Structure 1
């Protein structure tokens, strides 16, 4: 079975469809038949690319984080902006993508994080690699903000980055529980205080 096959239209369709459905329903609640029917791909094609549902879940998370990190890189390369402005744009984009009604494949880490961390070691490791990539980029952006004078922090950039990511990850869950975007307003206000604190 080939679980590391190069990208192909069928493989990409299966992954994109899985992201869309599982970001809404979760991993365990969705069967392969549902994904394949929605993707319009025969079951035999699935096993050409993925040895199992777990292998598919790992590949889906890897694919998700590749796109997510590319979006982060784009935001943090915007010309004519301070790093503080780019960080604000990143968290604004986070809020825009994390609808409690329909996230269309954009909330995969939020939806699957707690579920699959205890279900699959390979999927947990994929989540860990992806979230480490996020916090590394946040730490570099925070450090660059300190360097350009647009950010003032009390703790090291890597600690600030981890705290901010954990804040927004938890907030995304609370938004879904409360069915209101208000927790994002609180997170945005606290983020501003963290990035513009004074001794």
Structure 2
């Protein structure tokens, strides 16, 4: 069992709160005081942990993807299912979670790409690295599905993963304005259950 120090707990609380606030209000709509008040941590400690709001956003971006990476990896590591089924189950689970939240928020990465992607270089780099990390795990699953004979092999696993990630991000944006899981289901059905299949 890992025991966190108070400093580690404070930083974890700040990052978790950062995910919530940046998801709800965006980077520019979230003030430092709001973040600090929510976790009851003094301003000096915040600067000790992160140095600036921009550095904080970079770490929030990296922190945000970790549970998704873990969930996807858990599905792919399941010895009782093939990789194609693992990918479908992962995305079906993600859709179910978004339905529970009534389609609010979407994806923090997608939201920040729109807000900061061309105006904040450290955040752009963090977003790119984080998305590549996620894409690479999708590609690992798709490569395994190719080896298992369930996914087409005339495109590389990385090309297919990029297509899946790009389409999924667009579907998440449409989901928000339509208040419906239909774009997400269409993405998965058209790609995982049709275009990618052998």
TM-score (structure 1 length as normaliser): 0.87
Superposed counterparts of 1:180-195, under 5 Å: 180-191=180-191, 192-195=193-196
Q: 2:104 maps to which residue?
A: 102
In 2, Cα distance between the equivalents of 1:152 and 1:101? 32
In 1, Cα distance between the equivalents of 2:27 and 2:71? 24
Unpaired runs of 5+ residues, structure 2, are: 1-5
In 2, Cα distance between the equivalents of 1:163 and 1:101? 22
Superposed counterparts of 1:18-167, under 5 Å: 18-98=18-98, 99=101, 101-103=103-105, 107-167=107-167
CA contact 2:103–2:180 (8 Å) conserved in 1: no
- Deviation of the 1:153 alpha carbon: 4.6
In 2, Cα distance between the equivalents of 1:58 and 1:97? 25
CA contact 2:104–2:176 (8 Å) conserved in 1: no
Residue deviations 1:77-131, cap 9 Å, x none?
Answer: 112001110010121133234445435xx73112212112123111111111111
Aligned residues: 190
CA contact 2:110–2:169 (8 Å) conserved in 1: yes
In 2, Cα distance between the equivalents of 1:154 and 1:97? 33
Residue deviations 1:120-150, cap 9 Å, x none?
Answer: 1111111111111111111111111111123
In 2, Cα distance between the equivalents of 1:120 and 1:88? 34
Comparing both structures, which one devotes a greater share of its residues to helix?
2
CA contact 2:36–2:42 (8 Å) conserved in 1: yes
Unpaired runs of 5+ residues, structure 1, are: 1-5
What do you get for the CA RMSD once the two structures are aligned?
1.9
